[in-house]
Structure 1
Amino acid sequence: MNGPHTVHASCVAYDGKAALFLGASGSGKSALALRMMALGCDLVADDRVVLTAQEGALVATCPETIAGLIEARGIGILNAANVPNAVVQVVVDMDMQEQDRLPETRYVTLCDLRTPLIHRGVGDHFGPAIVQLLKAGWSNR
Protein backbone atom coordinates (compact mmCIF):
# COMPACT_ATOMS: atom_id res chain seq x y z
CA MET A 1 0.00 0.00 0.00
CA ASN A 2 1.33 3.45 -0.91
CA GLY A 3 0.35 6.80 0.57
CA PRO A 4 -2.05 7.26 3.46
CA HIS A 5 -3.97 4.07 4.12
CA THR A 6 -6.70 3.50 6.70
CA VAL A 7 -6.77 0.10 8.40
CA HIS A 8 -9.25 -1.53 10.79
CA ALA A 9 -7.00 -1.57 13.85
CA SER A 10 -6.18 -0.15 17.26
CA CYS A 11 -2.94 1.60 18.12
CA VAL A 12 -1.30 2.71 21.37
CA ALA A 13 2.02 4.41 22.02
CA TYR A 14 4.63 4.78 24.71
CA ASP A 15 6.97 7.75 24.36
CA GLY A 16 6.22 8.11 20.64
CA LYS A 17 6.69 4.40 19.87
CA ALA A 18 3.57 2.56 18.76
CA ALA A 19 2.12 -0.93 18.68
CA LEU A 20 -0.50 -1.51 15.98
CA PHE A 21 -3.10 -4.23 16.55
CA LEU A 22 -4.66 -5.74 13.41
CA GLY A 23 -7.46 -8.30 13.39
CA ALA A 24 -11.08 -9.10 12.78
CA SER A 25 -13.88 -7.52 14.76
CA GLY A 26 -13.97 -9.09 18.23
CA SER A 27 -10.35 -10.30 18.10
CA GLY A 28 -9.37 -8.24 21.16
CA LYS A 29 -7.70 -5.20 19.59
CA SER A 30 -9.45 -2.64 21.80
CA ALA A 31 -9.18 -4.85 24.89
CA LEU A 32 -5.40 -5.13 24.46
CA ALA A 33 -5.18 -1.39 23.86
CA LEU A 34 -7.10 -0.75 27.10
CA ARG A 35 -4.75 -3.09 29.02
CA MET A 36 -1.74 -1.26 27.68
CA MET A 37 -3.28 2.14 28.43
CA ALA A 38 -3.70 0.99 32.04
CA LEU A 39 0.07 0.36 32.01
CA GLY A 40 0.97 3.87 30.85
CA CYS A 41 0.46 3.87 27.10
CA ASP A 42 -1.53 6.56 25.31
CA LEU A 43 -4.17 5.90 22.69
CA VAL A 44 -3.29 6.77 19.11
CA ALA A 45 -6.50 5.41 17.56
CA ASP A 46 -9.17 2.77 18.02
CA ASP A 47 -11.15 1.07 15.26
CA ARG A 48 -9.51 2.99 12.40
CA VAL A 49 -5.85 3.95 12.08
CA VAL A 50 -4.33 6.01 9.27
CA LEU A 51 -0.87 4.78 8.26
CA THR A 52 1.67 6.78 6.26
CA ALA A 53 5.33 6.42 5.38
CA GLN A 54 7.26 9.46 6.59
CA GLU A 55 11.05 9.67 6.23
CA GLY A 56 11.44 5.90 6.33
CA ALA A 57 9.14 5.38 9.32
CA LEU A 58 5.62 3.95 9.51
CA VAL A 59 3.53 6.62 11.23
CA ALA A 60 0.11 5.96 12.75
CA THR A 61 -2.46 8.74 13.18
CA CYS A 62 -6.12 8.91 14.11
CA PRO A 63 -9.01 10.15 11.99
CA GLU A 64 -10.13 13.42 13.60
CA THR A 65 -13.71 12.24 14.16
CA ILE A 66 -12.65 9.47 16.58
CA ALA A 67 -9.63 11.07 18.27
CA GLY A 68 -9.50 10.35 22.01
CA LEU A 69 -12.22 7.67 21.90
CA ILE A 70 -11.99 3.92 22.51
CA GLU A 71 -14.67 1.23 22.63
CA ALA A 72 -14.89 -0.96 25.71
CA ARG A 73 -17.03 -3.92 24.67
CA GLY A 74 -20.02 -4.26 26.98
CA ILE A 75 -19.42 -0.81 28.52
CA GLY A 76 -19.51 1.73 25.70
CA ILE A 77 -17.35 4.43 24.14
CA LEU A 78 -14.82 5.90 26.57
CA ASN A 79 -12.74 9.07 26.50
CA ALA A 80 -8.98 8.47 26.56
CA ALA A 81 -5.71 10.36 26.76
CA ASN A 82 -4.39 10.32 23.23
CA VAL A 83 -1.43 11.38 21.12
CA PRO A 84 -1.81 12.70 17.57
CA ASN A 85 0.68 10.27 16.01
CA ALA A 86 3.43 7.75 16.75
CA VAL A 87 5.99 5.65 14.89
CA VAL A 88 4.92 2.01 14.63
CA GLN A 89 7.57 -0.30 16.13
CA VAL A 90 5.59 -3.53 16.02
CA VAL A 91 2.43 -4.92 14.42
CA VAL A 92 0.42 -7.51 16.35
CA ASP A 93 -1.77 -9.89 14.33
CA MET A 94 -4.64 -10.58 16.72
CA ASP A 95 -6.09 -13.26 14.40
CA MET A 96 -3.04 -15.50 14.75
CA GLN A 97 -2.09 -17.07 18.09
CA GLU A 98 1.61 -17.53 18.82
CA GLN A 99 2.59 -21.18 19.21
CA ASP A 100 6.31 -20.85 19.88
CA ARG A 101 7.98 -19.85 23.13
CA LEU A 102 10.69 -17.88 21.29
CA PRO A 103 9.31 -17.26 17.79
CA GLU A 104 11.41 -16.43 14.76
CA THR A 105 11.35 -12.79 13.70
CA ARG A 106 8.50 -12.04 11.29
CA TYR A 107 7.78 -8.92 9.26
CA VAL A 108 4.85 -7.33 7.48
CA THR A 109 5.05 -4.67 4.78
CA LEU A 110 2.76 -1.67 5.26
CA CYS A 111 3.08 1.52 3.18
CA ASP A 112 6.13 -0.12 1.53
CA LEU A 113 7.89 -0.32 4.92
CA ARG A 114 8.96 -3.60 6.53
CA THR A 115 7.79 -3.69 10.15
CA PRO A 116 8.24 -6.40 12.82
CA LEU A 117 5.15 -8.63 13.21
CA ILE A 118 4.15 -10.77 16.16
CA HIS A 119 1.15 -13.01 16.70
CA ARG A 120 -1.26 -12.63 19.62
CA GLY A 121 0.15 -14.06 22.80
CA VAL A 122 -1.71 -16.08 25.40
CA GLY A 123 -1.63 -15.05 29.05
CA ASP A 124 -1.67 -12.00 31.24
CA HIS A 125 1.93 -11.15 30.40
CA PHE A 126 1.22 -10.24 26.76
CA GLY A 127 0.13 -6.61 27.28
CA PRO A 128 2.95 -5.83 29.73
CA ALA A 129 5.45 -7.52 27.38
CA ILE A 130 4.39 -5.27 24.49
CA VAL A 131 4.74 -2.20 26.76
CA GLN A 132 8.26 -3.36 27.68
CA LEU A 133 9.03 -3.89 23.99
CA LEU A 134 8.02 -0.28 23.28
CA LYS A 135 10.11 0.96 26.20
CA ALA A 136 13.32 -0.97 25.55
CA GLY A 137 13.10 -2.99 22.31
CA TRP A 138 14.17 -6.55 21.56
CA SER A 139 17.32 -8.11 22.95
CA ASN A 140 20.07 -8.89 20.45
CA ARG A 141 21.09 -11.93 22.50
Structure 2
Amino acid sequence: MVDPEFVGKKLDPVVLRVPRERVIAFARAIGENRAVHVDVDAARAAGFPDVVLPPTMLFGLELEARGEKLLLDMELDPLRVLHAEQSFTYHRNVHAGEELRFEGVVADVYRRMNGRLEFIVQDSVVRRGDEHVVDLRQVLVIEDKEVA
Protein backbone atom coordinates (compact mmCIF):
# COMPACT_ATOMS: atom_id res chain seq x y z
CA MET A 1 0.00 0.00 0.00
CA VAL A 2 1.25 3.48 -0.88
CA ASP A 3 1.81 5.51 2.27
CA PRO A 4 -0.36 8.69 2.15
CA GLU A 5 2.42 10.48 4.04
CA PHE A 6 4.19 10.83 0.67
CA VAL A 7 1.62 13.49 -0.32
CA GLY A 8 3.48 16.79 -0.35
CA LYS A 9 6.89 15.16 -0.72
CA LYS A 10 9.11 17.38 -2.85
CA LEU A 11 11.29 15.57 -5.33
CA ASP A 12 14.91 16.52 -5.85
CA PRO A 13 15.05 19.14 -8.61
CA VAL A 14 16.36 18.02 -11.99
CA VAL A 15 18.28 20.42 -14.23
CA LEU A 16 19.02 19.52 -17.83
CA ARG A 17 19.72 20.94 -21.25
CA VAL A 18 18.24 19.19 -24.29
CA PRO A 19 20.44 18.95 -27.38
CA ARG A 20 18.88 19.76 -30.74
CA GLU A 21 19.66 16.28 -32.07
CA ARG A 22 17.56 14.69 -29.30
CA VAL A 23 14.61 16.95 -30.03
CA ILE A 24 14.72 16.13 -33.72
CA ALA A 25 15.10 12.38 -33.07
CA PHE A 26 12.18 12.41 -30.60
CA ALA A 27 9.96 14.35 -33.01
CA ARG A 28 10.69 11.90 -35.81
CA ALA A 29 10.16 8.89 -33.53
CA ILE A 30 6.64 10.02 -32.64
CA GLY A 31 5.79 11.06 -36.20
CA GLU A 32 5.85 14.81 -35.50
CA ASN A 33 6.87 16.18 -38.88
CA ARG A 34 6.09 19.87 -38.50
CA ALA A 35 9.19 21.76 -39.58
CA VAL A 36 9.58 23.73 -36.31
CA HIS A 37 10.31 20.44 -34.53
CA VAL A 38 12.80 18.95 -37.01
CA ASP A 39 14.46 21.81 -38.94
CA VAL A 40 16.36 24.57 -37.15
CA ASP A 41 16.16 26.93 -40.14
CA ALA A 42 12.38 26.53 -40.31
CA ALA A 43 12.11 27.05 -36.55
CA ARG A 44 14.15 30.27 -36.77
CA ALA A 45 12.14 31.45 -39.78
CA ALA A 46 9.02 30.98 -37.63
CA GLY A 47 10.54 33.20 -34.90
CA PHE A 48 11.93 30.54 -32.55
CA PRO A 49 15.55 30.47 -31.35
CA ASP A 50 15.90 26.73 -32.11
CA VAL A 51 13.75 23.66 -32.78
CA VAL A 52 10.68 23.41 -30.54
CA LEU A 53 10.28 20.42 -28.23
CA PRO A 54 7.13 18.39 -28.99
CA PRO A 55 4.78 18.75 -26.00
CA THR A 56 5.12 15.21 -24.68
CA MET A 57 8.92 15.19 -24.73
CA LEU A 58 9.22 16.81 -21.29
CA PHE A 59 7.54 13.80 -19.63
CA GLY A 60 10.11 11.44 -21.04
CA LEU A 61 12.99 13.72 -20.09
CA GLU A 62 11.82 14.01 -16.49
CA LEU A 63 11.20 10.28 -16.20
CA GLU A 64 14.62 9.51 -17.62
CA ALA A 65 16.34 12.02 -15.31
CA ARG A 66 14.53 10.92 -12.14
CA GLY A 67 14.67 7.21 -12.83
CA GLU A 68 12.87 4.97 -10.36
CA LYS A 69 13.97 6.80 -7.19
CA LEU A 70 10.47 7.89 -6.10
CA LEU A 71 9.05 4.40 -6.61
CA LEU A 72 11.90 2.84 -4.68
CA ASP A 73 11.48 5.42 -1.88
CA MET A 74 7.81 4.35 -1.73
CA GLU A 75 8.95 0.70 -1.62
CA LEU A 76 7.09 -0.07 -4.85
CA ASP A 77 8.18 -2.56 -7.47
CA PRO A 78 8.72 -0.48 -10.65
CA LEU A 79 7.67 -3.49 -12.71
CA ARG A 80 4.14 -3.25 -11.22
CA VAL A 81 3.69 0.46 -11.94
CA LEU A 82 1.78 1.65 -15.01
CA HIS A 83 1.57 5.12 -16.51
CA ALA A 84 -2.13 5.99 -16.35
CA GLU A 85 -2.41 9.62 -17.40
CA GLN A 86 -0.45 12.74 -18.26
CA SER A 87 -1.34 16.34 -18.87
CA PHE A 88 0.56 19.53 -19.43
CA THR A 89 -0.01 23.25 -19.58
CA TYR A 90 2.47 25.23 -21.63
CA HIS A 91 2.98 28.88 -20.76
CA ARG A 92 5.43 29.18 -23.63
CA ASN A 93 7.28 26.92 -26.08
CA VAL A 94 10.43 25.12 -24.99
CA HIS A 95 13.38 25.02 -27.36
CA ALA A 96 16.46 22.88 -27.83
CA GLY A 97 19.50 24.10 -25.92
CA GLU A 98 17.59 25.75 -23.07
CA GLU A 99 18.49 24.85 -19.50
CA LEU A 100 15.36 23.53 -17.80
CA ARG A 101 14.69 22.92 -14.12
CA PHE A 102 12.03 20.37 -13.10
CA GLU A 103 10.57 20.87 -9.61
CA GLY A 104 8.29 17.98 -8.68
CA VAL A 105 5.99 17.09 -5.82
CA VAL A 106 3.75 14.14 -4.95
CA ALA A 107 0.39 15.89 -5.20
CA ASP A 108 -1.90 13.03 -4.20
CA VAL A 109 -2.13 9.34 -3.36
CA TYR A 110 -5.48 7.56 -3.48
CA ARG A 111 -7.15 4.17 -3.96
CA ARG A 112 -10.03 3.02 -6.18
CA MET A 113 -11.93 -0.21 -6.91
CA ASN A 114 -12.22 -1.10 -3.22
CA GLY A 115 -8.49 -0.56 -2.75
CA ARG A 116 -7.36 -2.77 -5.60
CA LEU A 117 -5.86 0.14 -7.54
CA GLU A 118 -3.53 2.70 -5.99
CA PHE A 119 -2.77 5.99 -7.72
CA ILE A 120 0.14 8.39 -7.34
CA VAL A 121 -0.21 11.91 -8.74
CA GLN A 122 2.98 13.84 -9.42
CA ASP A 123 2.97 17.52 -10.37
CA SER A 124 6.02 19.26 -11.76
CA VAL A 125 6.80 22.84 -12.64
CA VAL A 126 9.35 23.37 -15.40
CA ARG A 127 11.34 26.61 -15.29
CA ARG A 128 13.86 28.30 -17.51
CA GLY A 129 15.78 30.46 -15.06
CA ASP A 130 13.07 32.22 -13.06
CA GLU A 131 10.50 31.86 -15.84
CA HIS A 132 7.71 29.30 -15.24
CA VAL A 133 7.29 27.66 -18.65
CA VAL A 134 5.31 24.42 -18.23
CA ASP A 135 3.16 22.54 -15.69
CA LEU A 136 3.24 18.75 -15.90
CA ARG A 137 1.02 16.19 -14.20
CA GLN A 138 1.40 12.45 -14.36
CA VAL A 139 -0.67 9.74 -12.73
CA LEU A 140 0.77 6.31 -12.00
CA VAL A 141 -1.28 3.28 -11.05
CA ILE A 142 -0.35 0.15 -9.11
CA GLU A 143 -2.56 -2.92 -8.84
CA ASP A 144 -2.65 -4.42 -5.36
CA LYS A 145 -3.18 -8.10 -6.12
CA GLU A 146 -3.66 -8.90 -2.43
CA VAL A 147 -6.94 -6.93 -2.31
CA ALA A 148 -9.91 -9.01 -3.45
When normalised by structure 2's length, the TM-score is: 0.23
| Structure richer in helix, relative to its length | 2
When normalised by structure 1's length, the TM-score is: 0.24
- Rg comparison, structure with higher value: 2
